[in-house]
Amino acid sequence: MTTDRRSRLLAGAALAATLPLGAAAQTELTLWHMEQPPHRVERVQTLLDEFNESHPDIEIRQEPQNWGEVYAKAPAALAAGAGPDLLFAIPDFTPILKGMGALDDVGDFVEELDAEHDFIDAAVEAYSYDDGVWAVPLYNMSMNLWYRPSVLEDAGIDVPETWEDWRSAAEALTTDGTYGMGLPANRQLYTDQTVYSVMTNGGASEIYDEEGSLRFDTPETVGAYAFYDDMLAFSPPDAPSWTWGEAEACFASRACAMILQFSVISTYDTQAEGDPADLGVAAIPSKDGETHNTIAYANAVMLLSRDEEKLEASKTFVRWLLQPENYGRFLNMEPGLFMPVTADGAEADSFWSDPIVETYRDQIETVIENSRNGMLFGFTSGRVFPAIAAISAQNVLAETLQSIAVSGEDPAQAVAAGEARMQDLTD
């Protein structure tokens, strides 16, 4: 055997000996999230690629899901031992996985992150109950009223502040080919969100009383549903089947003069005029015009792996993601929709230097201001009622609206039936 051949064989043997060890050392993680639009998936992948490259001992891959299926799919996958290692969550989704024993207390980890980044207290409180913290806050969302200032000015209409103003504006703006207000009536999460946004502005934000008993069936709730049903008269006829995308498309095409949405900035910038001076955002009108509330979600990530190496790798990823140089780019997977839940994230250059954020900075600052009066059903007045998860999973708020808007039921009867349905689900 020649010296060259001996050298090549030895080198090959050395490589064969090291490759299996290297492969075995890599920890593989699966991330489930419900941010399905392609540009959000692309931004998440960009960040995962950067993380994987900078952490060669860890590899994370994403598997986008949808809100219509995940309430059933995630528990089934976890029960079968095939669930994700990390899963994005909203407060009323988390109790479902906690209830099946899939979550461990991450209070110590959240405390570590809080010391470094300073979480908004309300974001942590939404996941803090039963003597534990069950997910790590990641981003905030709040519902707003979107409109074009030029459209309102041409019609001689001020931005509505009261329900009476709002109804009058929607009626005046409903003309041939244009609907004054785009509101959904689908039995789906988006309708839950818009209905509750109206309820919070009509004195019906508390679904439970202080003792934890349901108090959904109140005159204030009935009034909110009756008002919402009135407003549907100024919405497109296909609104009963809408989800978030249809509402944004209606606004972008100018078929809807006003809509309720978390953000329309991306669609307005890419599919409509893209004129920041003619994109208006305001707090949702209230019954009396005094206090303006909205629905708000502190989204979080649940750490699901019970394997110690995977759990530590998951924490390494979350620590990396919340670093300000990464966090702003994560939030801007949908500019104007996802707001920071940390103090250093709220000031991060990576958040404010995004070209879309710079263009629509006034609107984004208004969204952040509106979110200060954010509420979420089952998580109000500093109290958390985990039983709300069953109500949310069945979209009972939207189901009650459908009884009125689609089946023609009287609002008082529909709300009474809605509370009975909630009671059945949570007994």
Q: pLDDT per position in the chain (427 positions), as tens? A: 444 444 444 444 444 444 444 445 799 999 999 999 899 999 999 999 999 999 999 999 999 998 888 989 999 999 999 999 999 999 988 999 999 999 999 999 999 999 999 998 888 988 998 999 999 999 999 999 999 999 999 999 999 999 999 999 999 999 988 999 999 999 999 999 999 999 999 999 999 988 889 999 999 999 999 999 999 999 999 998 999 999 999 999 999 999 999 999 999 999 999 999 999 999 999 999 989 999 988 899 999 999 999 999 999 999 999 999 999 999 999 988 899 999 999 999 999 999 999 999 999 999 988 888 888 988 887 777 888 888 998 999 999 999 999 999 999 999 999 999 999 998 8
DSSP notation for 5-72:
HHHHHHHHHHHHHHHHHHHHHPEEEEEEE---SHHHHHHHHHHHHHHHHH-TTEEEEEEE--HHHHHH
DSSP-derived secondary structure letter, 175: B
> Among the residues of 219-264, which ranges form H helices?
219-231, 244-252
